[in-house]
């Protein structure tokens, strides 16, 4: 990586705040994905024009909606802070998923 000694303290604090905010959003979305993703569904049949009395329904798990947020958070962390920190966050997320 690079030297952090030459970076002013104010900038280092902002960088850590951004890291913690993105990490918190990632872990929160991952938890929501695990808990709500298997228990809540949205019926989108009416959006596709499927009649109510039709035997065919189109349902979507709510957890699918949180997945793009987790992807964006890890992508931003990887681009800004490096692969090592992004991998660390993913491992923490995996441990949190196992615990939940």
In a domain, 3, yes or no: no
Record the pTM. Answer: 0.68
In a domain, 86, yes or no: yes
In a domain, 22, yes or no: yes
> CA distances (Å), 32 to each of 24, 28, 39, 94, in order?
12, 6, 11, 13
Number of domains forming the structure of the chain? 1
- Per-residue pLDDT tens over the stretch 28-85: 888 887 777 777 788 877 777 787 777 777 777 777 777 888 889 999 999 989 999 9
Domain hosting residue 87, numbered range: 9-99
In a domain, 59, yes or no: yes
In a domain, 4, yes or no: no
Report which secondary-structure segment, H or E, holds 51: none
Distance CA 6, CA 3 (A): 7
């Amino acid at each position: 990586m690079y030297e952090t000694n030459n970076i002013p303290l104010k900038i280092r604090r902002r960088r850590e705040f951004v890291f913690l905010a993105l990490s918190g959003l990632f872990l929160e979305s991952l938890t929501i994905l695990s808990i709500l993703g298997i228990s809540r569904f949205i019926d989108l049949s009416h959006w596709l024009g499927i009649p109510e009395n039709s035997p065919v329904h189109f349902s979507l798990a709510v957890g699918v909606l949180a997945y793009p947020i987790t992807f964006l958070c890890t992508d931003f962390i990887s681009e800004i802070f490096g692969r090592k920190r992004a991998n660390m966050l993913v491992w923490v997320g995996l441990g949190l998923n196992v615990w939940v």
